[in-house]
Structure 1
Amino acid sequence: MSEYTIYHNPRCSKSRQTLELLKENGVEPKIVEYLKNPPSASELKKVLKLLGFEPQQLMRKKEAEYKEAGLDNDALSTDEQIKLMVAYPKVIERPVVFSADKAAVGRPPENVLELI
């Protein structure tokens, strides 16, 4: 079985539910509190590729930081968006669970069951 990682925010109920669901199914993921330890641009690119997402698809558009960072600017390149996601990790959707070859967003938490 592959090793799983979760970008986790312990204050988020969906993130806590997703982590609990993984554990109930025998998965002990590596927990990354991404607000304290944001992913690097290369890590974020890898996760986006595994999800098959463009950066905007992994953003929390209702967060104040989304507009503050200028992420609502359609002229930003993919690399610029990723750099801003690293600088403003609060805009990254949560939770994200991934392994070496697949990923899912835990909204709803049951989405991650397809990984295991």
Structure 2
Amino acid sequence: MTDIVIYHNPACATSRNALALIRNSGVEPHVIEYLKTPPARALLARMIERAGIAPRDLLREKGTPYAELGLADASLSDDALLDAMIAHPILINRPLVVTPLGVRLCRPSETVLDILPDLQRGAFAKEDGEQIIDATGSRLPA
């Protein structure tokens, strides 16, 4: 069985679509609602490193205290940004997915396909109706 973890926000359509794509591959992932159970600082730092991004790349601005905390300040260190995300988990963009093939911030949701070890098992359309997987489980061109 493939071990997959998704740091999920059920209120987010992108996160729901990524979760559905994981399930469409036949895997039931470990779902962590990160607003209720945020990752430890060291784990978050490791996931960011494994994803090949900078902490700033994981920051969410919309609907968060980003502006109030002055996080647009380019002089802030990576440690300061990590501290802000730990203090305010809503600042962590989602969904963040961990599989044996890597870690990705799955925006757009179909980014998850790049790190799923198992093929899609059938057709899939996003919540907005956009078809991204055909009936044979193949990814449709963008």
TM-score, structure 2 normalization: 0.75
Quick one: distance in 2 between partners of 1:67 and 1:89?
15
Once residues 112 and 74 of structure 2 are traced to their aligned partners in structure 1, the CA distance between those partners, rounded to angstroms, is 30
Which residue of structure 1 lines up, in the alignment, with residue 12 of structure 2?
Answer: 12
Q: Cα–Cα, structure 1 residues 48 and 71, in superposed 2: closer, same or farther, change >3 Å? A: same
Structure 1 runs not aligned, ≥5 long: none
DSSP-derived class of the 2:65 partner: helix
Change (3 A) 1:111 1:3: same
| Equivalent residue, structure 2, for 1:23 | 23
Cα distance in 2 for partners of 1:28, 1:36 equals: 20
Distance in structure 1 (CA, Å) of the matches to 2:105 and 2:14:
10
Looking at structure 1, the residues matched to 11 and 64 of structure 2 have their Cα atoms a distance apart, in angstroms, of 17
Contact 1:50 1:101 in 2 (8 A): no
Structure label with greater radius of gyration:
2
Runs of 4+ in structure 1 displaced over 3 angstroms? Answer: none
Structure 2 gaps, min length 5 = 117-142
Of structures 1 and 2, the one scoring higher in RCO (CA 8 A, sep 6+) is 1
**Offset, 1:55:** 0.7
Identity over aligned pairs, percent: 40
RMSD: 1.5
- Deviation (angstroms), 1:2: 4.3
Alignment of 1:19-58 (within 5 A): 19-58=19-58
The structure in which a higher percent of residues are helix is 1
